[in-house]
Chains A and B, each alone.
Chain A
Amino acid sequence: MKSIDSIIDAVYQGQRIYADAAEILYQNAPLLTLANLADHLRYKKHPDPVVTFVVDRNINYTNICVSRCKFCAFCRPLNHEKAYVISTEVLDQKIQETIDSGGTQILLQGGLHPDLHFSYYLDLLRHIKTSFDIHIHGFSPPEIEHMSKIAGLSILETINQLKNAGLDSIPGGGAEILVDQVRCHVSPNKCDSKTWLTIMKTAHEVGLPTSATMMFGHIETPMQMITHMIRIRELQDKTKGFTAFIPWSFQPDNTHIHVRKATAWQYLRVLALSRIVLDNIANIQASWVTQGDKIAQLALSFGANDLGSTMIEENVVAAAGVRFRLAKEDLIRLIQTAGLNAARRNCTYGVLEWFT
């Protein structure tokens, strides 16, 4: 077994870290050592002290979902009094508001609705694209798998049709922990890890960029979490299609998994480890939605170089009892009071506007 010091040295020198060493590092390195390593690697990748964010809105087209994952407080069954499918009027209004407040993209996601036809999703995309000039970051892999089943189409054909209808990029949601042993407990009806990775690989191959996420702090072991990171790293070696990695901690309120909420301490360790393990992904995002403004700011010294989005609207985490709200001005203040330069970006991390 390698000693912790030799692991730390190797990482500092820029060597790739593998699962066993990553676990030793995660379990044993002092918090500030992890931060030191992550920060060092972040500046090797991004020498300029810049932190970016995007102005966007989450639009959840439906909360009706047949998946019923145990960690979810957002989904509703078909006939539930609070079940909905968004109307065109509400959708248009939300997008117009997004554009009016300087937004450049929407994050379009929803539950796995049992009855909507594939044409619903294609029409949704075409409608948005003909009515508005906005980037559509939409449909996580579980939704795409669901659509492919409904349509009886291959993954490739499903993604191609979505792309032709206007889909610009794919969010990395639904990954949770990419280890089936974990998935069959927390999200038994959601696509397995191989399918998730296949969908992302296919998306990258047809030229759609995607992000990747990880939801930790429920029933996974540290090694399962590290396996998740390494599976994403392996795919990235092949496709280079992941723009960013976003780890966030499970929010247990109103869900069916009864665990203590992950602490800020654990969050920062996982975030730093993400930067260290994912040596081939350019951007690591801090999650202010789950951590609040203070820990999100601190994350900028623990490997993160991006604060995600302003999220003019967020429903899924809010349903689990966590409601942090930050406006664009707040994000800029967080970045600047950390001694860094703030920039607004687009979905592919191109800078649109600098703030001084």
Chain B
Amino acid sequence: MILSFKDKQLYAIKEKVERNIRLEPHDGIILYNTHDLIGVGALADFVRRKRHGNKTYFVYNQHINYTNICKNRCLFCAFARDRNEQGAYMYSVDQVRDILIQNKPNHLKEIHMVGGIHPNAPFEYYLDLLKTIRDIRPDVHIKAFTAVEIDHFSSISKMSLTDTIKALKQAGLDMVPGGGSEVMSDRVHQELFPKKISRKRWAQVMKAVHAEKLTSNATMLYGHIETVEERIDHFIQLRDIQDETNGFTAFIPLAFHSENTKLSHIPPTSAYLDLKTTAIARLMLDNFDHIKAYWVMLGEKLAQIAQTFGADDLDGTIIEEKITHSAGAKSSKGLSRDQLDFMIRSAGFKPVERDALYHPVEQS
């Protein structure tokens, strides 16, 4: 590790980390409150290298946002529209088919598809989306529909969660993304996203997903009104679910972008908060395999640095990111494989191209 910690409180945490002792909430709070960023990074880097050596994963993927029409209208969102609002859109199944046919990259391994909570699209629409993708790209993993959407589907289809998930799986769903939990705090829920499902429901959906042998990711949207204690509590809730199901694959910290949202007075997250959150996730979530540096939100430069602050995954090529760019993200809308490869290699890490389920891809 490094030679010395500027903050002497970190020595006790170092001791735990080296001896594989699970960190307590108060350790997490010390890590957030310290000004010793390099010390926090060194602890996370130690754990990251123990788990993954110098490998960094990435995926050749594509994002599809089938609609921006959403009845939840969370305060932190710049993407959602009401049904009759200017800029509102919803792709028909045929449009999605066209998108996939027009742009059919050979190396594609994952399609990431999420959308708004549409007030009246029927459940069949979502099943048809999956079937269509499956039909055109039988070789590609479909990672789609956050817990929020799955809860909505269960309500419109009048089916149990389990039956809803079974139907989605049968139509082609391979994996579930981690969005929609935001910050698992009743206070933040009330203030920012009261119409969205609660943290308890989110956990219930994820457990049901894992019970059907589908893996999922988990996320946290940070950098708005949440407190340090609420962030740590979020990690603990995720860690508890993971102890029970072992169904989470990756944790993805999501840096809040305020432009064009109702919270536009909130300044951008600092690099310190971004890297600390990445590192603390690695340290607190000791039962998660992967911590992602989502370059869309961090920017390419900081995402590269995050590889030595606990992150072992850079997400992917993406092709046309919409949601964070609606909120003023300055990153590219997509990266080439070559660019990702360079970001990893030039930092002394070893790129491993993966599929959605983290299986290494045979290089062609």
Instruction: Give the contacts of B316-364 with A (CB-CB under 8 A).
Output: 342-343, 346-348
Which residue of the partner chain B has the closest CB to A338?
A: B272
Query: What number of residue pairs across chains A and B have CB atoms under 8 A from each other?
Result: 88
Q: In whole angstroms, what is the CA distance A15 to B347 when docked? A: 28
- Flag whether B13 is at the interface (Cβ < 8 A): no
Q: In whole angstroms, what is the CA distance A39 to B268 when docked? A: 25
Q: Does the CB pair B38–A294 fall under 8 Å?
A: no
> Which of A33, A291, A297, A333 is the one whose CB lies under 8 Å from B2?
A33
**Given A338-B270, A339-B272, are A33 and B299 also a contact pair (CB < 8 Å)?**
no
Q: In whole angstroms, what is the CA distance A297 to B270 when docked? A: 8
* Residues in B whose Cβ lies below 8 Å from that of A333: 267, 270
Q: In whole angstroms, what is the CA distance A265 to B346 when docked? A: 8
Q: In whole angstroms, what is the CA distance A295 to B299 when docked? A: 10
Q: In whole angstroms, what is the CA distance A8 to B4 when docked? A: 12
The interface stretch among B158-166, B167-175, B237-245, B300-308 is B300-308
Cβ distance A300 to chain B, nearest Cβ, rounded Å: 9
Q: Does the CB pair B301–A292 fall under 8 Å?
A: yes
> Which of B3, B6, B275, B348 is the one whose CB lies under 8 Å from A298?
B275
Cβ distance B32 to chain A, nearest Cβ, rounded Å: 11
Q: In whole angstroms, what is the CA distance A295 to B271 when docked? A: 7
Interface hub of B6, B35, B38, B274 (most chain A Cβ within 10 A): B38
Q: In whole angstroms, what is the CA distance A30 to B272 when docked? A: 19
> Which of B268, B273, B301, B343 is the one whose CB lies under 8 Å from A295?
B301
Q: Does the CB pair B41–A294 fall under 8 Å?
A: no
Q: Does the CB pair B38–A32 fall under 8 Å?
A: yes
Cβ distance A29 to chain B, nearest Cβ, rounded Å: 10
Instruction: Give the contacts of B250-293 with A (CB-CB under 8 A).
Output: 267-268, 270-275
Q: Does the CB pair B308–A295 fall under 8 Å?
A: no
Q: Does the CB pair A264–B38 fall under 8 Å?
A: no
Cβ distance B298 to chain A, nearest Cβ, rounded Å: 8
* Residues in B whose Cβ lies below 8 Å from that of A338: 35, 37, 270, 272
Q: In whole angstroms, what is the CA distance A33 to B35 when docked? A: 17
Interface hub of B267, B301, B304 (most chain A Cβ within 10 A): B301
Interface hub of B37, B274, B343, B347 (most chain A Cβ within 10 A): B37
Fill in one digit per residue for B1-41: 1 if any A CB lies within 8 Å of its CB, else 0. Answer: 01110100000000000000000000000000001011001
- Flag whether B313 is at the interface (Cβ < 8 A): no
* Residues in B whose Cβ lies below 8 Å from that of A40: 3-4
**Given A32-B308, A260-B342, are A294 and B301 also a contact pair (CB < 8 Å)?**
yes
- Flag whether A49 is at the interface (Cβ < 8 A): yes
Fill in one digit per residue for A41-70: 1 if any B CB lies within 8 Å of its CB, else 0. Answer: 001000001000000000000000000000
Cβ distance A124 to chain B, nearest Cβ, rounded Å: 37
Q: Does the CB pair A295–B302 fall under 8 Å?
A: yes
Q: Does the CB pair A301–B38 fall under 8 Å?
A: yes
* Residues in A whose Cβ lies below 8 Å from that of B37: 298, 301, 338
- Flag whether B312 is at the interface (Cβ < 8 A): no
* Residues in A whose Cβ lies below 8 Å from that of B45: 30, 32
- Flag whether B42 is at the interface (Cβ < 8 A): yes
* Residues in B whose Cβ lies below 8 Å from that of A8: 3
* Residues in B whose Cβ lies below 8 Å from that of A203: none
Cβ distance A287 to chain B, nearest Cβ, rounded Å: 12
- Flag whether A167 is at the interface (Cβ < 8 A): no
Cβ distance A335 to chain B, nearest Cβ, rounded Å: 10
Total residues of chain B contacting the partner, CB 8 A:
30
- Flag whether A266 is at the interface (Cβ < 8 A): yes
> Which of A36, A265, A337 is the one whose CB lies under 8 Å from B270?
A337
* Residues in B whose Cβ lies below 8 Å from that of A32: 2, 38, 41-42, 45, 308
Which residue of the partner chain B has the closest CB to A298?
A: B271
Q: Does the CB pair B2–A298 fall under 8 Å?
A: no
Which residue of the partner chain A has the closest CB to B34?
A: A339
- Flag whether A12 is at the interface (Cβ < 8 A): yes
Q: Does the CB pair B301–A263 fall under 8 Å?
A: yes
Q: Does the CB pair B308–A297 fall under 8 Å?
A: no
Q: Does the CB pair B302–A294 fall under 8 Å?
A: yes
Q: In whole angstroms, what is the CA distance A58 to B45 when docked? A: 40
Cβ distance B309 to chain A, nearest Cβ, rounded Å: 9
Fill in one digit per residue for A12-42: 1 if any B CB lies within 8 Å of its CB, else 0. Answer: 1000000000000000001111011101100
Instruction: Give the contacts of A251-305 with B (CB-CB under 8 A).
Output: 260, 263-266, 268, 291-295, 297-298, 301
Instruction: Give the contacts of B136-161 with A (CB-CB under 8 A).
Output: none
Which residue of the partner chain B has the closest CB to A266?
A: B346
* Residues in A whose Cβ lies below 8 Å from that of B3: 8, 12, 33, 36-37, 40
Q: Does the CB pair B346–A263 fall under 8 Å?
A: yes
Cβ distance A33 to chain B, nearest Cβ, rounded Å: 6
- Flag whether A177 is at the interface (Cβ < 8 A): no
Q: In whole angstroms, what is the CA distance A182 to B181 when docked? A: 54
- Flag whether A334 is at the interface (Cβ < 8 A): yes
Cβ distance A53 to chain B, nearest Cβ, rounded Å: 16
* Residues in B whose Cβ lies below 8 Å from that of A37: 3
Q: Does the CB pair B305–A264 fall under 8 Å?
A: yes
Q: Does the CB pair B299–A39 fall under 8 Å?
A: no
Q: In whole angstroms, what is the CA distance A243 to B343 when docked? A: 34
Q: Beyond A33-B3, A37-B3, A263-B342: 20 further Cβ-contacts under 8 Å? A: A8-B3, A31-B308, A32-B45, A32-B308, A35-B38, A36-B3, A36-B38, A39-B38, A43-B6, A260-B342, A264-B305, A265-B305, A292-B299, A293-B271, A298-B37, A298-B302, A298-B305, A333-B270, A337-B270, A338-B272
* Chain A residues engaging chain B, CB cutoff 8 angstroms: 8, 12, 30-33, 35-37, 39-40, 43, 49, 260, 263-266, 268, 291-295, 297-298, 301, 333-334, 337-340
6 pairs across A/B with beta carbons < 8 Å? A40-B4, A265-B305, A298-B37, A298-B275, A337-B270, A338-B270
Pairs of residues from A and B, 8 with the lowest C-beta to C-beta distance, nearest first = A339-B35, A264-B301, A337-B270, A294-B271, A36-B2, A265-B347, A297-B271, A35-B38
